[in-house]
Amino acid sequence: MGYTLLMETREELYTEEEILALERKLRAGRISLALFAAAALTACVVLCCLTGPENAVRMEGTVIAISTLAGWFVLYRLRFGLRERKLEIGHARMLRAGPGERMEGRPELTGAEMRIRGSIRFCPVVLRGEGGERRLRVIASRADALRREDIDAVYAVNGFIAGIGARR
């Protein structure tokens, strides 16, 4: 009479190295935006220095166009690019630091991507197991990790999936 021991591996959706990589990308994005804004300001100063009586109207229009377009671009990138990455980093740190709860079952993505107002994008998940169904969420950038077939448990922190348990 024998028995088999099933080994389970735990895989975190965010490792410390991935969080550090996201922070480096965020820092690089901020630096590139600062350089872009400085270049636009320098261009405006140079154009102001080149202004004379014969081209004043054209230079004024050019300076206004450059500063307006550069400002819109910087604000757009801050709002829709860097802010979301910063929020994801904060959320990932919360998931790593929080007390996780192991839940048995098979996770299934149940709907389209949603957004918490003023915060991160997430996908709703239903965990189907012996104890019934539980509704959880996963950060949208990590939803593909739940599509694997060998997942039989998840680790959740505050209703968000922080890790997965898979059979070997």
User: Where are the alpha helices (H) located in the chain, listed in sequence order?
Assistant: 16-49, 56-77, 83-97
How many Cα atoms within 13 Å fall on the side-chain side of residue 28?
A: 6
| Global model pTM greater than 0.85 | no
Cα–Cα distance measured from residue 134 to residue 138, given in angstroms and rounded to the nearest whole number: 13
CATH class of 101-167: mainly beta
Reported in sequence order, the residue ranges of 79-141 that DSSP labels E, i.e. its strands, are 101-104, 106-109, 114-115, 121-129, 132-139
Can you give the residue ranges of every domain in the chain?
Answer: 11-97, 101-167
pLDDT at 8: 54
Backbone dihedral region for residue 118 (phi beyond 0: left; psi -120 to 50: alpha; all else: beta): left
Identity of the residue numbered 2: G
Q: What is the pLDDT of residues 46-76, one digit of tens each?
A: 999 998 889 999 999 999 999 999 999 999 9
Digit-coded pLDDT (tens) for 126-164 = 988 877 888 999 988 888 888 888 888 888 888 898 888
Q: State how far the Cα of 134 lies from the Cα of 106, in Å rounded to an integer.
A: 10
Give 2's pLDDT tier (boundaries 50, 70, 90).
very low
Per-residue pLDDT, 24 = 96
Tens of pLDDT along 10-52?
A: 778 888 999 999 999 999 999 999 999 999 999 999 999 998 8
Distance CA 136, CA 108 (A): 10
Region 120-124 average pLDDT? 89
